[in-house]
Amino acid sequence: MSIFGTVRVKKGKYRIHGDFHHVTPNVPIRNEDEAWRLMGVTNPREMTYIHMYGGEALFFENLAKGSIYATKCKNPDCEFKGTVYLPFRIHCPDCLGKNEIIDLTDLCKERAKIYSFMACERSGAFNTLDKPIRFINVEFDGVSTILMSYLSIGEPRIGMRVTPIFRTVNPTYTITDLSWVPEGTSEEVLPQGFTS
Ligand SMILES: [Zn+2]
């Protein structure tokens, strides 16, 4: 019997439990036009990848709590001191100093708008978002970067005001725990598991 691979960290070491890869039987590939001659085999491979967030872990932890954290360079010697980064950047790309973490939730709720967007009718493997996926680039007043995310309700327009919603029920601790809806969307129509 196998279980999903799980990892925890204790005393500075990974504690790994369960199976991280599964051997799944091959299946023959046969040619039905040529008396079912053998042509090959399928080669199923399933493995669990350990993806560590490092200094960005706090960002993902707080999405599940309905907060958006960003970072800011406060190095007085930096030419671009005061620059705010969302997506969360641990180090300032200009002075290479360590940024400070700031709570940007209120600004995201009040001053976010769509910079650009694209709708995707198809997606890649392992996609969990509903199609068509309305990818949006979100722009915030006073923030130097643009955040890639997705709109859960409505049709995107350039310049449209949007507000964040968070997967607070059964969070995945990935970036899809954060989504956006048009400003003024009521709580009752949000996707299941999301709160504003
Ligand atoms: Zn800097």
Which range (39-53, 61-75, 92-106) has the least confidence?
39-53
| C-alpha of residue 115 to centroid of ligand 1, in Å | 25
Token digits of residue 132: 């068509």
* Percent residues over pLDDT 70 in the chain: 99
109, burial (CB in 10 Å: exposed 0-12, middle 13-18, buried 19+) = middle
Through-space distance between the first and last CA atoms of the chain, rounded to whole angstroms: 41
In tens, the pLDDT along 98-131 reads 999 999 999 999 999 999 999 999 988 888 899 9
| C-alpha of residue 75 to centroid of ligand 1, in Å | 6
Place of tokens 């790309």: 93
Q: How far is CA 138 from CA 109, 130, 167, in A?
A: 12, 19, 18
Which range (5-14, 33-42, 97-106, 121-130) has the least confidence?
121-130
Q: What is the pLDDT of residue 23?
A: 84
Is 3's pLDDT higher than 80?
Answer: no
Whether residue 43 lies inside any domain: the answer is: yes
Same domain as 15, residue 30:
yes
* Percent residues over pLDDT 90 in the chain: 89
Same domain as 76, residue 35:
no
Q: How far is CA 31 from the centre of its chain?
A: 42
Q: What is the pLDDT of residue 2?
A: 59
Length of the chain: 196
| C-alpha of residue 76 to centroid of ligand 1, in Å | 8
Whether residue 141 lies inside any domain: the answer is: yes
Q: How many separate domains does the chain show?
A: 2
Same domain as 144, residue 58:
yes
The CATH number for 140's domain is 2.40.50.140
Same domain as 179, residue 116:
yes
Q: How far is CA 13 from the centre of its chain?
A: 26
Q: What is the pLDDT of residue 188?
A: 96
Whether residue 156 lies inside any domain: the answer is: yes
Q: What is the pLDDT of residue 24?
A: 87
Same domain as 14, residue 88:
no
Please state the rounded mean pLDDT for residues 12-35. Answer: 93
- The residue range of the domain holding 58 is 54-195
Whether residue 1 lies inside any domain: the answer is: no
Same domain as 118, residue 62:
yes
Whether residue 17 lies inside any domain: the answer is: yes
Whether residue 41 lies inside any domain: the answer is: yes
Same domain as 135, residue 103:
yes
| C-alpha of residue 39 to centroid of ligand 1, in Å | 59
| C-alpha of residue 196 to centroid of ligand 1, in Å | 32
Same domain as 101, residue 27:
no
Is 154's pLDDT higher than 50?
Answer: yes
| C-alpha of residue 167 to centroid of ligand 1, in Å | 32
Q: Which residues are within 5 Å of ligand 1 (an ion), measured at CB?
A: 73, 75, 78, 92, 94-95
Same domain as 15, residue 95:
no
Contacts of 171 (CB under 8 A, 6+ apart): 63, 64, 177
Which range (2-11, 37-46, 94-103) has the least confidence?
2-11
Whether residue 177 lies inside any domain: the answer is: yes
Same domain as 137, residue 93:
yes
| C-alpha of residue 108 to centroid of ligand 1, in Å | 22
Structural contact between residues 163 and 185, judged by C-beta atoms closer than 8 angstroms: yes
Same domain as 97, residue 38:
no
pLDDT, the chain, mean = 95
Structural contact between residues 55 and 77, judged by C-beta atoms closer than 8 angstroms: no
| C-alpha of residue 58 to centroid of ligand 1, in Å | 21
Whether residue 76 lies inside any domain: the answer is: yes
9, burial (CB in 10 Å: exposed 0-12, middle 13-18, buried 19+) = exposed
| C-alpha of residue 143 to centroid of ligand 1, in Å | 14
Same domain as 109, residue 37:
no
